């Protein structure tokens, strides 16, 4: 027998919105199942049932912003912690990149429900995504995400000579963290002291820990791409809006 699913979970699976958005829309009477409005939280549906949303939901979703920040060292990605400022503190009119291509006026209400879709360590720099759009957050940090993240990593080898080729192959595939094998990565030398990493997962301090395992010390780490969206010329400490034609 086909199993019943929570309506909010089913809406998230279908890519309509996040679960939190789904609950809001259900309460407002903006969700239909097989053409009938369902407004009770916790309602369940079968996978074969048709779920649709009213135009008001789509209109509200279109107003939600996604912001790209070039995060500097010393800021945390999410909530403020240990006296360190969060990256969202940079999102104000005076820090907006003068070359931002989106004709959108900044307003403090855009900070509401703006969450980091992924993280960068406090001592790492580069591309950080903050979004009000649950679909984008799920796409970037959901359990089944396969979105590539690209990093430039300045390293120093702590042993005599140069990193052996076999250890470079280990960085690409063969290491384990927290008792689990890492999925294959793409790691190559960018220049004499800098590696290029492309990952499809993001365990805590993953690159630094991978490097330690083969005798490398990370001196600097910069994220330059998430999916098809590049950091580009965005200056450190500044932000811009995601363009309509940009997709991760």
* Residues annotated as part of the active site: 121
Strand order in the sheet with 31-33: 36-37, 31-33, 51-53
Place of tokens 């009000």: 132
For residue 5, what are the contacts with CB-CB under 8 A and spacing of at least 6? 13, 44, 45, 46, 47
**Rounded-to-integer distance, Cα 48 and Cα 51, Å:** 9
Report how far apart the first and last C-alpha atoms of the chain are (Å, whole number): 37
**Rounded-to-integer distance, Cα 221 and Cα 30, Å:** 44
DSSP-assigned letter for residue 96: B
């Amino acid at each position: 027998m086909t199993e019943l699913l929570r309506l909010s979970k089913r809406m998230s699976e279908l890519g309509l919105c996040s679960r939190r958005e789904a609950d809001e829309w259900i309460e407002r009477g903006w969700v239909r199942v097989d053409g009938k409005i369902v407004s009770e939280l916790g309602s369940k549906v079968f996978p074969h049932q048709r779920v649709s949303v009213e135009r008001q939901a789509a209109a509200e979703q279109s107003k939600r912003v996604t912001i790209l920040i070039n995060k500097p060292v010393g800021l945390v990605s999410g909530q403020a912690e240990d006296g360190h400022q969060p990256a969202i503190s940079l999102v104000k009119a005076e820090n907006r990149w003068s070359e931002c291509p989106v004709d959108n006026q900044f307003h403090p209400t855009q900070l509401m429900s703006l969450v980091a879709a992924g993280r960068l360590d406090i001592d790492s720099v580069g591309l950080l995504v903050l979004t009000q759009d649950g679909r984008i957050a799920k796409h970037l940090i959901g359990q089944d995400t396969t979105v590539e993240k690209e990093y430039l990593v300045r390293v120093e080898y702590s042993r005599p000579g140069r990193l052996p080729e076999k250890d470079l192959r280990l960085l690409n595939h063969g290491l384990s963290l927290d008792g689990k094998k890492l999925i294959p990565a793409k790691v190559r030398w960018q220049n004499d002291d800098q590696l290029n990493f492309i990952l499809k997962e993001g365990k805590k301090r993953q690159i630094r820990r991978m490097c330690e395992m083969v005798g490398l010390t990370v001196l600097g780490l910069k994220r330059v791409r998430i999916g098809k969206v590049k950091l580009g010329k965005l200056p450190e400490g500044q932000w811009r809006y995601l363009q309509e034609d940009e997709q991760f």
